[in-house]
Amino acid sequence: MDRSYWKTVSLVTIWQISASICYYAIFAATPFFRDAFGLSRFSVGLVVTTLTLGYAVFLLPLGALTDRFGERLTLTLGLIGLATGTLLVAGAPTYALLLAAVFVLGSAYGTAIPGTNKAVFDNIDPGRQNLAMGIKQVGVTGGSGISALLITGLAGAFVWQTGFFVAASVGVIVAVAFYLSYSSDSDGGVADYPDFRALLSNRPYLVLMTAGLFLGAALFTTTGYTVLYVEESIGASVGFGGVVLALVQLFGSVGRVLTGWLSDVLPGEPRVTIGLLLVVQSLGSAVMFVVVASTSTEFGAAVAFAVLGFFVLGYTGVYYSVMATLVTADEMGGATAGGQLALTSGALVAPPAFGYLADTVGYRTSWLFLAAVVTVAAVLLVQVVRTPPAVENPAVTDAAEK
């Protein structure tokens, strides 16, 4: 692989790590929000929902702007926006302004998926793109893990906002370096939105999207409440909770790489093979949610959450691989946008519901609620596997023939 390949992969991955440090700092800081603003667990869930709402609302418009102006400009401005949002969160004096700040932060993160994906597919030759995508996606969990250690670790020595200041500084520095170092043959084109009408008649795709609502609900709720649960229910320090969240992200990265590799090497029809992998990950998540609900020691929590991370954070890559077996290559842009919206939309309701159950009944019921959520997703995914594809030449076939 030549230098230009690794230059592109390195720049995009570093961008993704920096962006995720800023975005996922919110998930690591939930105990501090609760203490600083006197929040209930339900109100903590609304913080995560507001962050996700900003992301969902701006995902498609920022994708269109990326097509129009190119990823170099939008990724640079997006990272500066993330750094600005991080500073606004740190300086928020009231709960209402905190919600406004996290909305700004979430909206800026909408540049991540369209910008980094466009960078990979514009600059890297077919046959190398999947590895590049896998490396880039590890930047999400890697950045989240770093933010967990950064936010909770610095809070022990300084004020809780210190980690946010560091994250914002990293964002600005990387944004400037990215703008100066990144080059692309793509200058942008005509702005347009994905054509979802063309996908409405594709039944297995729609079922996969529905499953994505449940998968996203479990994923974002897990990362949003890990630190708070470890502190309140297990009785550990916030710093230890940050370590546990970092383990969740680390094992999530392992899950993404391993299942991506298995998707390439396992024999059989890709739709069935990859679909069953996603079913296994969903059921594994359900089992581990039950285990987490039963943990009572620091060591047990660390192990349980690490294994949970492998399953519940490890299935996003396979989710999109299944999607590629259901739609044509020409539809992958719109299909990917719809799939990301499904994952994100699932996180709009689940975190407050989780928090409400924790407030009124207890954390055990909340974790069992998530176990039920991913079980529903597994049932839907079985239906995806059993339903013949609605297109004759899905994207994976197209890629294989090129």
The overall average pLDDT reported for the chain is: 83
Tell me, what amino acid is at 135?
Answer: I
Q: For the whole prediction, is pTM greater than 0.85?
A: no
Burial of 392 (0-12, 13-18, 19+ CB in 10 A): exposed
Domains 1-185 and 194-402 share a fold: yes
Mean pLDDT value of segment 368-396: 86
Pick the CATH number of 1-185 from 2.40.50.100, 3.40.190.10, 3.60.20.10, 1.20.1250.20: 1.20.1250.20
**Nearest-CA neighbor of 225 among 33, 20, 19?**
33
Separation of alpha carbons 190 and 161, rounded Å: 41
pLDDT value at position 400? Answer: 43
Class of domain 194-402: mainly alpha
Separation of alpha carbons 328 and 309, rounded Å: 31
Where do we find the tokens 């009408």? 197
* Residue that wins the pLDDT comparison between 133 and 92: 92
CB 199, CB 338: distance < 8 Å: yes
- Alpha helices (H) in 184-315, listed in sequence order: 203-229, 238-265, 270-294, 298-312
For the chain, the structural domain boundaries read: 1-185, 194-402
**Nearest-CA neighbor of 333 among 64, 140, 20?**
64
In the chain, % of residues over pLDDT 90: 32
Separation of alpha carbons 327 and 73, rounded Å: 30
Half-sphere exposure of 68 (CA within 13 A, CB side): 11
pLDDT value at position 296? Answer: 87
* Residue that wins the pLDDT comparison between 178 and 195: 178
Q: Which two tokens stand for residue 236?
A: 């550990």
CB atoms within 10 A of CB 130: 18
> What b/e string do you get for 51-84 counting C-beta neighbours within 10 Å, with b at 16 or more?
bbbbbbebbbebbbbbbeebbbbbbbbbbbbbbb
Separation of alpha carbons 335 and 389, rounded Å: 14
pLDDT value at position 215? Answer: 94
Separation of alpha carbons 148 and 252, rounded Å: 14
CB 86, CB 206: distance < 8 Å: no
Half-sphere exposure of 312 (CA within 13 A, CB side): 35
Separation of alpha carbons 72 and 58, rounded Å: 18
* Torsion angle of C-alpha atoms 85, 87, 89, 90, degrees rounded to 10: 170
The region of weakest confidence among 26-35, 87-96, 120-129, 183-192 is 183-192
pLDDT value at position 370? Answer: 95
300-313 residue pLDDT tens: 999 999 999 999 98
267-297 residue pLDDT tens: 888 888 889 999 999 999 999 999 999 998 9
Tell me the CA distances in angstroms from 176 to 164, 169, 263, one per residue in order: 19, 11, 37
* Helix-, strand-, coil-residue percentages of the chain, each rounded to 5: 85, 0, 15
